[in-house]
Structure 1
Amino acid sequence: SFNSLDKTLLALRKQTGEICRLFNKSPSKGNLKRIKELFPQCGEGVIIESGFHCDYGNQITIGDRSFININCTVLDAPISEGAISIGDDCLIGPNVQLLAVSHAVNPTERLNKENFAAPIII
């Protein structure tokens, strides 16, 4: 588990959010390159349409020739348990949400602001 209110994580999410906002406002090749540079691995021929959002990016890998359609939300975690792996030749439809992160639903536990994560593999 991790605390998403940690100052380092808040700063990282803010920086990643700004990269996503720039891309979504102007989905140019340069801004797409900045998005792809967030990921430890992004294959050849990957297409990401505008409306893309991720929390950190550093736990997302994408294989070759995958396509991510408009308005995709990818909530990755800053820890390896929250990794999201999209393989080769995957087609992600419009408005898809890949949510590797969640939090407690019990009100008492929720007050601790702890998040937990589980990997997603496509």
Structure 2
Amino acid sequence: MPSEKEKMLAGEMYDPHDPTLVEERRDARRLTAEFNATAADEADRRESLLRDLFGSVGENPHVEPPFRCDYGYNVHVGDDFAANFDCVILDVCRVEFGDDCMVAPGVHVYTATHPLDAEERVAGEEYGKPVTVGDRVWLGGGAIVNPGVTIGDDSVVASGAVVTRDVPSDVLVQGNPAEVVKEL
């Protein structure tokens, strides 16, 4: 029988109160607290903490505190990844950013989701869907990326957009729900 963590990573219904998962979230909170307490002149310390927290990190990562995540080990960032203040990534499943991605202030990326059926939802189990962000993508301030979304290379998500479905490459999306408004 698979563990709750194995079910979580596979995108199946799982119990988030499982002791192993609770402890792993505590570890992530400890690392993010250390990261968020760093000073602007501690770039090497910040990078070291990101490498401890994230599943994989490319060259030249830059994340401005404060930053929040669930587990950290499901976050994978490519070369020259940059995230501004107040980024939140709920990473119960894999979140992958390609190279040269820019994440503006207040962006939220969610993989965690819950059943639509009220009885199932209040029973406490949840599940997740992975998020993939291609190369050279810019997520504008306050944008929200929902579970299961893939954003294609070279696309821009406008400030405040709520991305509920896949975004093709080379487009600008905006609105709630986000719609393609321009080809780039």
Q: TM-score, normalised by structure 2?
A: 0.61
Aligned 8 A contact 2:91 2:110 in 1 = yes
Flag the structure with more relative contact order, 1 or 2, with Cα contacts below 8 A and sequence separation at least 6.
Answer: 1
State how far apart, in whole Å, the 2-side matches of 1:41 and 1:120 are: 15
Aligned 8 A contact 2:14 2:126 in 1 = yes
**Secondary structure of 1:61 counterpart:** strand
1:96 aligns to what? 107
State how far apart, in whole Å, the 2-side matches of 1:64 and 1:100 are: 22
Does residue 2 (structure 1) correspond to residue 17 (structure 2)? The answer is no
* Distance change in 2, residues 1:83/1:115 (3 Å): same
Aligned 8 A contact 1:54 1:76 in 2 = yes
How big is each residue's C-alpha offset from its partner over 1:101-122, in whole Å with a ceiling of 9 and x where there is no partner? 1112432111221111111111
State how far apart, in whole Å, the 1-side matches of 2:119 and 2:109 are: 27
Q: CA deviation at 1:36?
A: 2.3
Counterpart amino acid of 1:61?
A: H
Superposition pairs of residues 33-44 of structure 1, within 5 angstroms: 33-44=48-59
Structure 1 or 2: more helix by fraction = 1
Aligned 8 A contact 2:31 2:53 in 1 = no
How big is each residue's C-alpha offset from its partner over 1:4-56, in whole Å with a ceiling of 9 and x where there is no partner? 11111001101110110121122433244122222221000110110111110
Task: Specify every segment of 5 or more residues in structure 1 that has no aligned partner in the other structure, as ranges.
Answer: none
State how far apart, in whole Å, the 2-side matches of 1:91 and 1:20 are: 20
Aligned 8 A contact 2:67 2:86 in 1 = yes
Of residues 22-31 and 95-104 in structure 1, the stretch that sits farther from structure 2 once superposed is 22-31
Counterpart amino acid of 1:20?
A: T
Aligned 8 A contact 1:85 1:121 in 2 = yes
Does residue 117 (structure 1) correspond to residue 117 (structure 2)? The answer is no
Q: TM-score, normalised by structure 1?
A: 0.89
Aligned 8 A contact 2:55 2:76 in 1 = yes
Aligned 8 A contact 2:47 2:61 in 1 = no
**Secondary structure of 1:4 counterpart:** coil
Task: Specify every segment of 5 or more residues in structure 2 that has no aligned partner in the other structure, as ranges.
Answer: 1-12, 134-184
Between Structure 1 and Structure 2, whose CA radius of gyration is higher? 2
Aligned alpha-carbon RMSD (Å): 1.3
**Secondary structure of 1:45 counterpart:** coil
1:56 aligns to what? 71
2:89 aligns to what? 74
